[in-house]
Structure 1
């Protein structure tokens, strides 16, 4: 058993200094990361903010290591389950370019930067020459991440046209209602939904509920008829539309933090579904630190929030590992809730200096990055409660790292992504 020590002493003893984040460099220095991963079936790689150059690069390096050295077979992204189908098609040789499929398959502009395009290109090249199991690249999030259910409903309708005419008619009714607020840009759809009449909102919720009940009721018959896999795929698309509807309905009264937990539940369900469908697969989940955290969070009103990592830890126990990525200094990407897809959604901001109660303040700064194993620290470090905060974009958040993450990858200095840096001098008006 570890002797009682301070968090600083824990980090000193349990962290490994590493010299490179270059995805193309040799991988032998990541052996300590491999020991940490062990036989886990799901490894989540987080980020304290989207659109950070070093986070994209380090994730790419860790993904390559997990695939080449440990046989991981699926990369699940914080991207819509439905729209991201184009990504999986492309990395297996489909048409188009990396920027085109990233823009179409990843919501909110999270894929619109060359650093992410490099990761996609590596996966495609890996699959082209790999004689073993290819690496899948899938989305795990709600339609549009929080936007329109229309893409998911169109997938459901296409399936039901082949198998269930009355069900297809219900899906068409839902499509007609969704078209009233649909927009390819999620923030526009999110802001247009409240303009629907109450009768339209109620009709959409009722129709989605009826369709979901029908598809669940008919599932055994579809399996017996040989349509089991297609039925379950369509059902997961529909579950995304149904939970997105709950997000939209709860937003005015519960706020974005609570409403977004419908995203977290669906992200976790998407990952668990991958494991159920292929018991031999191992999954890398790439999502924001907020989503992969394993402990419950609190909203401003004191209510409990359940991140995807909380659901995954409950289901998988030690087979789920959450690795937060954070930074010591530099710049970061910051988001704007713009309603025009032609307006940049991310720009660059300076990271504030670390503060004594933040986990980042403990790390030294004489290596490119540090990997620290946090398992056991919350119960052992005598001053664990004195470090409750960590970075979130360009501020600090009450999110205790020691109770919610299994490890931290602390990058000494970061800069915003190429996309965000390109818009640093002309952020959108908000």
Structure 2
């Protein structure tokens, strides 16, 4: 069996990725089984650099706030701002301190220097304006969309004045209350003001669509694309806040579903302007239904990757990442018979695995690996049938974020 499995592995290189695919897909997604591991981000950086240079990819999207990501995109394309400021303002979830994220942004800026706009690589945050403990106020997205339209259209076309938006939004702290995730009564998402804002957001997005020819001529395609991002984000956030205030058994499933749909919409929008490399948790990209357990509640949803594939078909590809050990998290040598255990026995620091040949070499379904730490999600049998490749990293040793 070991000989057959050795035939299924190659170096983690762009040429090997292409060998697993019939052609370069429009969206090539690389997952990770846990966050905050510098080695995984370094593997991502090296592979993405090769794919930009060899595969013609022109957008790199990571699991970060889509609105904040505009700051990074401005920097890598024009040099606007300082690297430290751009990282702090442009990458969410506290991941701006990770050295590999800093290295990625620095490389993107260096790659773009002196290149015409059509050949530059763009940056995108593909996640909504969401954190694990809550969601942002829709203020930034709504006011930016309103401002874009107000500057280019007659006032009577707009559903309201800027002052009305400000009054309805109120204090941003009402929207971002972290306690609302566990206590629906703390959410303002079903207040009269929120209901009115949802109608206004819908009207603003409809107006943006209806006036597309004029708006692109009066600004630019890039500015219009950004306005679409403002609209997607405003509508998505208001929808998310609506379900935060829900008390039904389906509340959590709707919340994760809204987030997944926002992530998918951002990837599809990025793919309209050219091929996209995306990086996020495996659960955001896998083809089979994602799930998690919150106490006694099991929550299931379709990942952003599954949604994107439903729209793009063969233009979507997914590489899952698997890890052998995270000893600093109590995740030790994987048991024999698990996917990670079989690959760990090959004694390769990292490799790219053909899941079809691995399935054939394994024969029977692999043993399910149980993680001793909640933050790491092992591969399942579904990943062998639902991924186009597996990036295996033998051992990871934690993040150096915050170190000098």
Q: TM-score range by the shorter chain?
A: 0.7 to 0.9
Q: Relative to 1, partners in 2 of residues 1:101 and 1:179: Cα closer, same or farther, differing over 3 Å?
A: farther
Which of 141, 146, 171 does residue 152 from structure 1 map onto? 141
2:7 counterpart SS class: helix
C-alpha distance in structure 2 between counterparts of 1:257 and 1:397, whole Å: 22
Q: 1:388 and 1:320, CA in 2 relative to 1: closer, same or farther beyond 3 A?
A: farther
> Could you tell me which residue of structure 2 aligns to residue 359 of structure 1?
339
CA, structure 1 residues 304+93, in 2 after alignment: closer, same or farther (shift >3 Å)?
A: same
Task: Report whether the alignment pairs 1:161 with 2:150.
Answer: yes
Cα distance in 1 for partners of 2:310, 2:349 equals 34
* Residues 12-91 of structure 1 mapped to structure 2, 5 A cutoff: 12-17=6-11, 30-37=14-21, 38-91=23-76
The whole-number CA distance in structure 2 between the counterparts of 1:186 and 1:47 is 29
Which position in structure 1 is the counterpart of 2:103?
118
The one of 223, 227, 246 equivalent to 2:213 is 223
Q: After TM superposition, list the pairs within 5 Å mapping 1:22-421 onto structure 2.
A: 30-37=14-21, 38-130=23-115, 133-144=119-130, 147-148=135-136, 149-162=138-151, 163=153, 165=155, 167=158, 169=160, 172-182=163-173, 195-196=186-187, 201-217=191-207, 219-224=209-214, 226-227=217-218, 229=221, 230-231=223-224, 233-251=226-244, 253=247, 254=250, 256=252, 258-276=254-272, 278=273, 281-300=274-293, 301=297, 304-331=300-327, 349-356=329-336, 358-363=338-343, 364-375=345-356, 382-384=363-365, 386-387=367-368, 394-396=375-377, 399=380, 400-419=382-401
Give, in whole Å, the separation in 2 of the partners of 1:291 and 1:94. Answer: 31
Deviations 1:354-407 (A, max 9, x none): 245642122135222011122476699642364477898644458532233221
What is the deviation of 1:92? 1.8
- Aligned mates of 1:122, 1:43 — CA distance in 2: 20
Shift of 1:119: 0.8
Instruction: Look up the SS of the partner of 1:327 in the other structure.
Output: strand
Structure 1: distance between partners of 2:165 and 2:342: 52
Cα distance in 2, alignment partners of residues 178 and 375 from structure 1: 52
Q: CA deviation at 1:266?
A: 1.5
- Indicate if the aligned counterparts of 2:57 and 2:275 stay in contact, CA closer than 8 A: yes
Separation in 2 of the partners of 1:255 and 1:141? 20
Instruction: Provide the C-alpha distance between the structure 1 equivalents of 2:150 and 2:197, rounded to a whole number of angstroms.
Output: 17
Residues 73, 283 of structure 1: 8 Å contact kept: yes
Give the structure 2 partner of residue 342 of structure 1. none
Contact 2:233 2:262 in 1 (8 A): yes
What runs of 5+ residues in structure 1 fail to find an aligned partner? 1-5, 19-28, 332-347, 424-430
Helix, strand or coil at the partner of 2:229: helix
After superposition, the Cα gap between the structure-2 partners of 1:392 and 1:263, relative to the gap in structure 1 and judged at 3 Å, is: farther
1:390/1:272 CA distance change after superposition, 3 Å: farther
SS in 2 for 1:371: strand
Alpha-carbon offset, residue 83 of structure 1: 1.6
Q: Distance in 2 between matches of 1:186 and 1:89?
A: 30
What is the aligned residue count?
386
- Distance in 1 separating the partners of 2:265 and 2:393: 30
In structure 2, the CA distance between the partners of 1:394 and 1:211, relative to structure 1 (3 Å rule), is closer
Answer whether contact 2:253 2:299 (CA < 8 A) is retained.
no
User: Structure 1 residues 9 and 269 mapped into 2: Cα distance closer, same or farther (>3 Å)?
Assistant: farther
**What is the deviation of 1:62?**
0.6
Contact 1:328 1:361 in 2 (8 A): yes
Find the residue that maps to 1:236 and give its secondary structure: helix
How far the C-alpha of 1:418 sits from its partner, in A, is 0.9
In structure 2, the CA distance between the partners of 1:415 and 1:265, relative to structure 1 (3 Å rule), is same
Residues 16 and 372, structure 1, Cα contact 8 Å, conserved in 2: yes
CA distance in 1, matches of 2:180, 2:87: 20
